[in-house]
Structure 1
Amino acid sequence: MSVRDAGAPVAGAVTIEVAGRDDLPAIVAILAADRLFGARDTTDPAAMPDYERAFDAIAADPRLTLYVARAGGEVVGTFQLVLFHALLRHGALIAIAEAVHVHPDARGLGIGRAMMDFAIAEARRRGAASLQLTSNKKRLDAHRFYERAGFERRHEGFKIDLDDRV
């Protein structure tokens, strides 16, 4: 990862695009670099088939899109956009930004903002009534970032882990 070497924000040079299977190792490396909760993801080659199966399932589902953010030709961020209809709000289409991650070496350079601006625009373009996301309570910097990006704290989330691998 050499994006930080530039030393200046790169938001103007960030491109957001649908992830390809060849982006998978870089995406997994970004996820594995997150150590806030220990080693939940790994770049161990033995785990790659799990990530490949998940990527294939995401790519096959028209309600799901996995994106990458590139700067200087490198994958520096990733997020998934999930769209579904709810009965609430007269059957509104709801968008969720999931698994939003920027490589630790590229944080503070405008990558996350470019990804969220894209997610908001894409959700709007696809007719979503709202875009929501969740963020772990320990991610205080992320919370401040999301608020600066226009998100409001409206709900209290709950979760139960059903798989001991996560």
Structure 2
Amino acid sequence: MPSQELLIREAKESDLPSLIGLFADDAMGGHGDTTAPSAYSDYLRAFRSIAASSDQTLYAAELAGEIVGTFQTIVVTSLHGRGSSTMIIESVQTRADLRGRGIGAAMINFCIEEAKGRGMKMVQLTSNAIRKDAHRFYERLGFKPTHLGFKMTLK
């Protein structure tokens, strides 16, 4: 972990340029993220939708006043498991030049503690199949690859 204190807090609308930059800098993600001004309204719409949801939270990780990471949590309650709730961790990004310094682990541990504090029995996440380093990282933190995921892109 860097010598300064890492602050994990709910993201604010004013954080959007930094958060967008983290995603746009991720060549491996393949999500088409961009810092082009013409795309800003798409990100703003998504941010406001997340902020309005009682089941979703977007976070910013801040170090020395700079955004160095982000993640989103989604709480899903289902009938199976006797109505249990699960925290899904999504969109985990750490600034590329700061990877390997404990920021990602701090963000994931924050999620785990938040879920425990809310009485949830599970946290889960998905990771792109090509992100082998991320898979090792998640396994080191105690996650197990128990399911196979499927996606369908809709046009």
**TM-score category (smaller protein):** over 0.9
- Structure 2: any 5+ residue segments left out of the alignment? none
- How do 1:30-69 and structure 2 match up within 5 A? 30-38=22-30, 40-69=32-61
Alignment match, 2:118:
126
Q: Does structure 1 conserve the Cα–Cα contact (< 8 Å) formed by 2:4 and 2:64? A: no
Distance 2:3 2:56 in 1: 25
TM-score normalised by structure 1 residue count: 0.89
Give the number of the structure with larger relative contact order, counting CA–CA contacts within 8 Å between residues 6 or more apart. Answer: 1
Secondary structure in structure 2 of the residue aligned to 1:83: strand
Please tell me whether residue 77 in structure 1 is matched to residue 66 in structure 2.
Answer: no
Amino acid at match of 1:93: S
Secondary structure in structure 1 of the residue aligned to 2:97: helix
Shift of 1:157: 0.7
Alignment match, 1:142:
134
Give a deviation string over 1:34-91, Cα, whole Å, max 9, x none: 0014561000011000000000000000100000111111101000000021111101
Distance 2:42 2:48 in 1: 10
Shift of 1:16: 0.6
Amino acid at match of 1:140: K
Secondary structure in structure 1 of the residue aligned to 2:34: coil
Secondary structure in structure 2 of the residue aligned to 1:138: coil
Distance 2:11 2:154 in 1: 27
Runs of 4+ in 1 over 4 A off after TM superposition: none
Please tell me whether residue 152 in structure 1 is matched to residue 134 in structure 2.
Answer: no
2:93 is aligned, of 88, 101, 117, to: 101
Identical columns (%)? 46
Distance 1:137 1:42, change over 3 A: same
- Structure 1: any 5+ residue segments left out of the alignment? 1-8
Alignment match, 1:162:
154
Indicate the RMSD between aligned Cα atoms, in angstroms. Answer: 1.3
TM-score normalised by structure 2 residue count: 0.95
Distance 1:51 1:37 in 2: 16
Distance 1:160 1:93 in 2: 25
